[in-house]
C-alpha cells in the first residue's frame, strides 16, 4: 500500500462521490461543485496510479497540470451559464 496507491484509492472514492453528487443534487451550483470533486478524483487516480511504486512520473503530472487549468475554465463557463438560468429553477 504505497502512498501513490492510497491517493489513487482516494481519487476513486472522490470520483464516485462526485458522480453520485451530480446525479442526486438538484441545485446547479452544487452540481458544479460535484463536477469539480469528480475532476480532482480523476486527477488523483492519474498521478497516484502512475506513482504507485514510488518515484515521480512527469508525464501524468504534466497532463494533470493542464487538466486543472481546463477544469477551472469549465467551471467559470458553467458559473456564467448558471447566472443566466431563469431565477425560479437554479
Enumerate binding residues for other proteins (CB under 8 A): 1, 3-10, 12-21, 23-27, 29-30, 33-34, 36-37, 40, 43-45, 47-53, 55-59, 61-66, 68-70, 72-77, 79-84, 90
DSSP alpha helix (H) spans, the chain: 3-24, 28-50, 58-83
Number of Cβ atoms within 10 Å of the Cβ of 58: 9
| 13: Cβ contacts below 8 Å, ≥ 6 apart | 41
Least CB distance to other proteins at residue 42 (A): 10
Q: How far apart are the C-alpha atoms of 43 and 33, rounded to whole Å? A: 15
Least CB distance to other proteins at residue 25 (A): 6
Q: How far apart are the C-alpha atoms of 53 and 13, rounded to whole Å? A: 20
Amino acid at each position: 500500500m504505497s502512498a501513490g496507491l492510497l491517493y489513487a484509492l482516494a481519487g476513486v472514492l472522490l470520483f464516485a462521490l462526485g458522480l453520485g453528487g451530480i446525479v442526486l443534487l438538484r441545485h446547479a451550483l452544487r452540481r458544479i461543485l460535484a463536477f469539480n470533486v469528480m475532476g480532482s478524483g480523476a486527477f488523483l487516480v492519474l498521478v497516484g496510479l502512475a506513482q504507485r511504486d514510488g518515484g515521480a512520473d512527469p508525464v501524468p503530472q504534466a497532463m494533470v497540470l493542464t487538466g486543472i487549468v481546463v477544469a477551472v475554465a469549465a467551471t467559470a463557463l458553467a458559473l456564467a451559464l448558471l447566472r443566466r438560468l431563469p431565477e425560479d429553477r437554479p
